[in-house]
Structure 1
Amino acid sequence: MPGDVRVLGACPLDCPDTCSWVVTVRDGEAVSMRGNPDHPYTRGALCVKVNRYLEHSRSADRILYPLRRVGPKGSGRFERISWDEALEEISVRLRGIVEEHGGQAIWPYLGTGSLGYLQGCEGVAGRRFWNMLGASRHWLNICSTAGNTGLRLTNGTPGGMDPENFALAGLILLWGTNTLTSGHHLWKFIQDARADGAYVVAVDPIRTRTADQADEHLAIRPGTDAALALGLLHVVLAEGAQDEEFLAAHTEGWEDFRAEILECPPERAARITGIPAEAIHRLGTRLAHTRPTAIRATMGIQRHAGGGTALRTIASIPAVTGDWRHPGGGVAYSTSGHVHLAVDTRDDLLPGPVRTLTMTRLGSELADPDSVKCLWVYAANPAGSTSDGNAVRAGLAREDLFTVVMEQFPTDTVDYADIVLPATMQTEHVDLHAGYGHLYLLWNEPATAPPGECLSTTETFRRLAAHLGMTEPSLFASDLELAEELLSSGHPSLEGVTLDRLRKEGWARMNYPTPFAPFAEGFPTGSGRMRFPPRGKAYVPPRSSLTDDGLVLITPAAHTFLNTTFGNNPELLRRAKDPVVLVNPADAAARGLTDGQRVRVRNAVGEFLADVEVSDRVAPGVVASPKGRWPKLSPGGANANAVVEERDADLGRGAVYHDNRVELIPCADPGTRQYPGGT
């Protein structure tokens, strides 16, 4: 079309904000992108990462054609082939694996590279196809599952308060969340609350950029959050500020939980958390007398041995204070529990029972050559983002493992693939999204044609099904037909939200009240009551607290990368500079380390290289190194996941990225770093 055309879309990435964006297209080329100023949550702003999305989509290292490996696994050496050649080779290998080993020898490894309901993990893209083959189930436990499981046990759903209602709060606790880096749109609503006198407290092991902007920062020991919650509630009880009416009408297990609270006075909580007892008393008193209190707790808080329990106990705070009855009160972890799209993966297509393989156990699973014969990776980069990176790469190097990777860029995982299939980016395909940090559905309309021979996830599986001779009609549903299915659940929250409306307007708020107090009249549990943690199970200590050896490592989100997405963007790499590890001055002095010195961050699992940044932003005994680096673009060829154990959290088999001890060893050979386009 002549002239400029505005195309409405949505960010697909693993962030609670799921922004609405506007792409301006001129003569078939996307020339600009901005946040949608009409969207009530996006409010016209994108993050520093997504602001470079169009540039990223045109990157010189974009994968545009199917590829076949011609060098050793891990070498990243490929030759271009046609789609027909790729589909034929894949079909032959899949048939052979199913015939010889059974469909369960195939592991479809889907990640959070896209949260789309058509192209990504929320709708479990490709599941119908994998069901036809009888492939293993994939448990996507890497991100939020411990917290989700804990909240379901407590509230019946991970869905909590509407983040927009933070504007109504009198006290805001930003608990284990760096809002200005990971979901900065919430900050506008926090500012609205502050304008009305709200007090903001950041509870975080690191003094983040968010903690800098808060009224108070409590530097908690990693993984001890439930103990702090109990200590604060002890003060609430001492003040007589518990909401007895709400407790009697809407909770169960209160007397046992009350006894547990009384066993954790602020002095005991202080010994566990490292926060001074006076600070716990002060915040507890403020909590007791400030209605409403809003708590923001996101995924980093539950990546340790007691992560699920931490969310259970934190979610108990607004039940004791009665904040769940007030708009602007409660806990916001994920709004995903309020999304009721009809995801039909057609499990009836399975030929029989199948096993479930756990995402964070990839390394150990691949170590057994009889377990997995085909690994199919999409919307994921496990060589850069999964626990025990060394074990993962050792498994990927197996010559008998047939590995297919659907990707946009030559990641570390791509280097180990047998076949690489070029994947579209968000501006090149349709998708349907729901944020896990707000209450809107969003439609993504393609702005441009795909470059080269890139295909969407849905189209790739349609073509592969046809090549394998499958005839099940549901495998060939168009993207618009799939979207209509998703919107057909009949849930009241979707009344009036049609595909036509979404395509015209770009987004729609689900039908929830404004303001929204989801549990004011009860909870979606069997009894209709909130369930407090059982006696003796309100605090599960992190594994790292069981020894004093070494330093506790946490791997927070980087400001310039989103997981490993954008990890190859030259400008964002330049801004990120070399990998660093933040070290408290006392710990640096005890080890004779100086600012800028390169060290090996090491434990029994592995090691990675980073430069010391001596800083009081971390407390003694804690070190921090941001995640998101591609191993092959890092000194030493490894990132922080090299030292993360393959261990489960207490609930949901969640990951433990913030529950590992390390030591820092001066590095005689600092190594080099290979940026895209040169050293």
Structure 2
Amino acid sequence: YRSLTAEKCHQHIALLPGTDAALALGMMHVLIGENLLDHDYIGRHTLGFDALQERVKLWPPERVAQTCGIPVDQVLQLARAFGEVAKRGDPVAIRTNYGLQRVHGGGMAIRNIACLPALVGAWRHAAGGVQLSSSDSFPKDNHALQRPDLIEAGAIPRTINMSTIGDDLRRDAAPEFGPRIDALIVYNSNPVAIAPESAKVAQGFAREDLFTVVLEHFQTDTADYADILLPATTQLEHVDAHSAYGHLYMLANNPAIVALGEAKPNTEIFRLLAARMGYDDPCFKESDDAIAAQAFKRDDVRAVHFDWDALKQKGWQKLNMPDAPFADGGFPTPSGKCEFYSARMLADGLDPLPTYIAPYESRASNPLLAAKYPLAMISPPARNFLNSTFINVQSLRSTEGEPHLDLHPDDAAVRGIASGDAVRIFNDRGSFIAKARVTDRARIGLVVGLSIWWKKLTADGRNANEVTSQRLTDMGGGPTFYDLLVQVEKA
């Protein structure tokens, strides 16, 4: 899909969804085969190169091109450009993002991509390497913030994955699941709109015997199901400490205004609830400033100068980190090296070497399903929204217009669809209605449902998550929003 970012690139390579891992394997095949390598860096700061070399022999450019749905020349050109720039001594960097992870093999895709900079020594440069997010660079003091020591001895906290909340809210008690979910508090989220298989999510929240409390700024889709709806403060009204996704500065969020009406921070609501429930540990009486003062570990070299009062006064403080953190190795792995072969992954039941994990739903991996639903679909954020945030702002919604589906002219022609037509997008999980935009920005065989609309603000009361799946990624239990097949027809 040629997004607004892709339109500004020198080159855009439109892979089939879920095939990024294969492209990385093909690049490694070319880099090793053509000796576009930093042998010194590999020898001193990596582990398992010989095994990697044998693995990538299985992924010649021709196989990669067929898997990814792109020309062989694009595989070769990309790998050579990456390797040759590094060979000249110039920095090369890869910026990944969250979309490529939202498929069955999303974890392995990131793992494969992360091997590329080590092969060419890109980590030697401050401007080289790979980045997804800087969030783990912040030494958060999770023990102080979460207080696991207050859990009764031997008790294991129950965790429900929000990506499977549609099934979990509808489950009966079972030994492998635990008791039925009878109550929940929702804050900082809108699961009825954003969780996969949305029809099941709505069914779960609609249970008469489910006690639901929602802390919110607005009457979201989820708030419509609340037994009790409590007004929460916005970022403008409360104290908070911030880490980041893309930079290295600890930030103090000082309130700009006094909280309006009866709105309270989530922390204050939980303090009041704890008091009524009889919890008397001092942590339940700590102010927001006292909590924020414990946000980062002072004994960690990255936050060695952290002082909350000083941070509140200045507003920001840079983490104490080098510009090229892995120039001399020091990776956060058991060996301290970039592990092409990972014994830890093997112990977790995963392939210890880079590999390719096919999507759950694609023409190649599931041809029977593809015969019924031949189009892949992704649902990136619409330009005028931030995922499901700001959709309730009338001016932004007016600019966006209505839910759109971008599809390639060839896919539109065989279905008799023209721009402006109302179309129904469907599979066995559900359906939703959108207005067609016929454009070559979508590659053949792929449709793009710009998202995430609140269901109540659409003509049919549905959104793109009607057709997404609750199946999880290979690592980390993440959602697979971009791993699905659909059919499209005129509504």
Structure 2 CA distance for partners of 1:241 and 1:588, relative to 1, 3 Å: same
Q: Could you list the per-position Cα deviations for residues 236-283 of structure 1 after superposition, in whole angstroms to 9, with x for gaps in the alignment?
A: 123211122211212222212111212212111110111211121112
- Does residue 595 (structure 1) correspond to residue 431 (structure 2)? The answer is no
Task: Find the partner of 2:171 among 368, 384, 392.
Answer: 368
| Residue in 2 that maps onto 1:329 | 128
Give the TM-score, by structure 1 length: 0.66
Structure 2 CA distance for partners of 1:400 and 1:615, relative to 1, 3 Å: same
8 Å CA contact retained: 1:326, 1:517: no
d(CA) in 1 for partners of 2:134, 2:310: 22
d(CA) in 1 for partners of 2:353, 2:333: 22
Q: Could you list the per-position Cα deviations for residues 452-494 of structure 1 after superposition, in whole angstroms to 9, with x for gaps in the alignment?
A: 1000011111111112222111111111111112234411111
| Residue in 2 that maps onto 1:468 | 277
Q: Could you list the per-position Cα deviations for residues 555-596 of structure 1 after superposition, in whole angstroms to 9, with x for gaps in the alignment?
A: 112221112111101011011111111111111111111111
Matches within 5 A, 1:217-236: 217-236=12-31
8 Å CA contact retained: 2:329, 2:338: no
| Residue in 2 that maps onto 1:313 | 112
| Residue in 1 that maps onto 2:484 | 660
Give 1:651's aligned amino acid.
M
CA apart distance, 1:355: 2.5
Give 1:427's aligned amino acid.
L
d(CA) in 2 for partners of 1:490, 1:230: 40
| Residue in 2 that maps onto 1:197 | none
d(CA) in 1 for partners of 2:55, 2:417: 42
Q: Share of identical aligned residues, percent?
A: 40
8 Å CA contact retained: 1:487, 1:499: no
Task: Find the partner of 1:543 among 360, 379, 383.
Answer: 360
8 Å CA contact retained: 1:260, 1:535: no
Instruction: Kindly report the root-mean-square deviation, in angstroms, between the aligned alpha carbons of the 2 structures.
Output: 1.4
Task: Find the partner of 2:67 among 236, 247, 272.
Answer: 272
8 Å CA contact retained: 1:487, 1:494: yes
| Residue in 2 that maps onto 1:502 | 311
Give 2:460's aligned amino acid.
G
- Does residue 293 (structure 1) correspond to residue 92 (structure 2)? The answer is yes
Matches within 5 A, 1:407-418: 407-418=216-227
Equivalent residue of 1:427, what SS? Answer: coil
- Does residue 241 (structure 1) correspond to residue 44 (structure 2)? The answer is no
| Residue in 1 that maps onto 2:346 | none
8 Å CA contact retained: 2:111, 2:354: no
Q: Could you list the per-position Cα deviations for residues 476-532 of structure 1 after superposition, in whole angstroms to 9, with x for gaps in the alignment?
A: 11111111122344111112231122111111111112x333353331211112122
Matches within 5 A, 1:98-109: none
Matches within 5 A, 1:464-543: 464-513=273-322, 515-532=323-340, 534=351, 537-543=354-360
Equivalent residue of 1:428, what SS? Answer: coil
Task: Find the partner of 2:453 among 619, 625, 629.
Answer: 629
CA apart distance, 1:375: 1.5
Give 2:156's aligned amino acid.
P
8 Å CA contact retained: 1:325, 1:521: no
8 Å CA contact retained: 1:443, 1:507: yes
Equivalent residue of 1:543, what SS? Answer: coil
CA apart distance, 1:665: 2.0
What number of residue pairs does the alignment pair up?
461
Equivalent residue of 1:426, what SS? Answer: coil
Give 1:494's aligned amino acid.
A
CA apart distance, 1:537: 4.9
Structure 2 CA distance for partners of 1:337 and 1:250, relative to 1, 3 Å: same
Equivalent residue of 2:434, what SS? Answer: strand
Equivalent residue of 1:553, what SS? Answer: strand
| Residue in 1 that maps onto 2:210 | 401
d(CA) in 2 for partners of 1:630, 1:442: 31
Equivalent residue of 1:270, what SS? Answer: helix
**What are the ranges of 5 or more consecutive residues in structure 1 without an aligned counterpart?**
1-205, 668-679
Equivalent residue of 2:361, what SS? Answer: helix
d(CA) in 1 for partners of 2:305, 2:274: 34
8 Å CA contact retained: 1:430, 1:479: yes
| Residue in 2 that maps onto 1:354 | 157
Q: Could you list the per-position Cα deviations for residues 365-409 of structure 1 after superposition, in whole angstroms to 9, with x for gaps in the alignment?
A: 111254100021000100000011000000111000000000110
Matches within 5 A, 1:42-191: none
d(CA) in 2 for partners of 1:454, 1:626: 32
| Residue in 2 that maps onto 1:604 | 428
d(CA) in 2 for partners of 1:419, 1:535: 48
d(CA) in 2 for partners of 1:321, 1:347: 42
Equivalent residue of 2:166, what SS? Answer: helix
Task: Find the partner of 2:262 among 429, 453, 458.
Answer: 453
CA apart distance, 1:419: 0.4
d(CA) in 2 for partners of 1:536, 1:606: 37
Give the TM-score, by structure 2 length: 0.91
d(CA) in 2 for partners of 1:226, 1:263: 13
CA apart distance, 1:426: 0.5
Give 2:169's aligned amino acid.
L
